[in-house]
Structure formats: C-alpha cells, structure tokens
Amino acid sequence: MLVGRENPADNEPFRHPPETPMFPSHYACSSCHEKFEFAFREAWYYVGTEPVGNQVAYDDLLSVNIRPAWCKDCDCLCLVEDIASVRVFEDAYGAARGGRKVDYPGDTEYMDAAGALKEIEDQLRWRMGRRQAPRALCCGGARYQLMNVAQPLLKHAQCDFGVVEPKSCFVGAYCGPGPGERSPANLRVYDAEGDLIGQLTWNKREQRMWAVEPLQYPLPVADN
C-alpha cells in the first residue's frame, strides 16, 4: 500500500538558484556615479517548426532566462542567456508534474496546472536540443563578464577607484494596456541557439499572436 510521504519539500516551490536575487533596474559606478542601463530587459525564443513569417503564435514563444552581464565586445550592460544543466530542467519538470510551483526555467506562479506543465515541458524540450553555450543577447558573442556573481566586481574603465554596482528602484504597479497595444513592444526574438531573428511589435490578443519584424545582430567588426 502506498503511503503519502510527509516531506515538506514536496510543497515548496522549485527554485533555481535557491535564492534568486532581484534583477537590478540598472547599474552605477560607485565613484563617479555614471549610470548604466539595459538596452532591453526581456527576450523570447521562437520554438515553432515553421520559418518565421510576419507573425508568431503565443504557443511558439518561450521566455529566455537571463542574467545581467557586461559585454566586452559592445562595451555595454547586456543580458546573457541563463542556461542551467539538463538535470535542473528535468527536476523542474518533475516538480511541475507534481503540482509544485516553479520559478526556473519558467515562472509558473500565476499559471494553472496545465499551463505550468506545458511551459516547463517546452523549456525542457528546448534545453534538450540546445547546443551552444550561453550567448550575450546584444551581439551573440561570448566575451562577457557576468554581473550577478559576488566576485569579481567590474571596475569602471574610466575611474581610478570606481566599480560598477547594481541598483534597484521601486517600479510601481502598472495598470494600463500591455506592451504592443498602443505602441510596438519591440521585444527581441531569438532562435533556439540564441541567434537574433526578429522583434515582436504588436500584440494580437484575440488571435494569440504577435506581429514580428525581422531583426539581426549587428555584423561583427573585422579584427584587422
């Protein structure tokens, strides 16, 4: 006879990493106070099977997990893909199947059980197929320094003593129309390997579609 286990961990949300720090709103130099901002703060994978046309279905989009970083090629604050091991994705999938909330590789806090399971299953399928190492989403490059690690701090290049530190400010609740309704949202879309392929412009809620325009990484500057 099966007996339900009295394991409190079974009811706790699955988190990776266990203590997820708040994503900073911007960074600033500790000495000269120069402010560094993200050019964009969210990104999506297109995981549909057909080539992208002028619109994509909600169901063919997957949120990109991101970490703040400094891109040494673009010399800017940027986002880098946050890609944990397959094992972490499998554990999250197990947790979602067990009805637990998951916050990585997808945040299921406000999803119903079926939606949560689909989200994590889609993330696991994407992870199984992913080959390349995490890329900086500004240029697709690999020359970056992660900013959400304790050490080392990033020294501000122009300053003798300054380091670039995270700053957060309270962002109030927003109740107006969502992005892509009164003006184009311009959210970046990448293929499964992190190549920039387009940007989402207008949100067509009734059809569960986003209009999409082509967009590509800037061509790398040749090293001569």
Contact residues for Zn ion (CB under 5 A)? 29, 31-32, 71, 73-74, 136, 138-139, 141, 156, 159, 162
What is the β-pairing status of strands 43-46 and 35-36? unpaired
- In whole angstroms, the minimum distance from the beta carbon of 81 to Zn ion comes to 12
Distances (CA, A) of 210 to 58, 62, 79, 126, 203: 7, 13, 22, 20, 5
- In whole angstroms, the minimum distance from the beta carbon of 52 to Zn ion comes to 23
Strand partners, 164: 29, 154
State the DSSP code for 14. Answer: B
- In whole angstroms, the minimum distance from the beta carbon of 136 to Zn ion comes to 4
The one-letter amino acid at 112: D
Read out DSSP for 101-164?
-B-SSS--TTS-HHHHHHHHHHHHHHHHH--SPP-BTTTS-S-EEESSSSSSPEEPTT-SS-EE
Residue given tokens 């009811």 in the structure block: 11
Residue given tokens 């991101």 in the structure block: 66
